[in-house]
Amino acid sequence: MQLAVTYFENLALKPLAAKEMIAATALVELELEGKVAWYFLSSQEGGLEVECEGEKVFVLSPQSPLGSALMGKSEGDDVAVKTPTGVREYEILSVM
């Protein structure tokens, strides 16, 4: 756990311009079935939940099903992710 904390404390973030494709270190706002949530696409670690400015942010790795589906997409795109319970359709609301 301490290794993950150290990794995120030293992470260099790459700012993304409007309509730029999602890549590692992107902060992405997604909508799923009317619910909005924030996701951080890490370059390595995933499966964490952190709080930033009062908002929950879920950390994804590019190897996760959702992380993989987001790579190369941009604001306004939709992504479909297969899960054991069926396909989930996300809308990308914003990318930072």
| pLDDT tens string 22-75 | 998 899 999 999 999 999 998 777 888 888 888 899 999 999 999 999 999 999
- Tell me the β-bridge partners of 60: 41
Residue 33 burial by CB count (10 A; 0-12/13-18/19+): exposed, middle or buried?
A: exposed
| pLDDT tens string 73-93 | 999 999 999 999 999 999 999
Residue 91 confidence (pLDDT): 98
CA 48 to CA 40: how far, in whole Å?
Answer: 10
Measured CA to CA in angstroms, residue 20 lies from 24, 27, 48, 66, 72 at distances of 12, 12, 25, 18, 9
- Which domain does 23 fall in, by range? 2-95
Residue 87 confidence (pLDDT): 97
Length, in residues, of the chain: 96
Find the CATH number of the domain harbouring 59: 3.10.50.30
Total domains in the chain come to: 1
pTM of this structure: 0.82
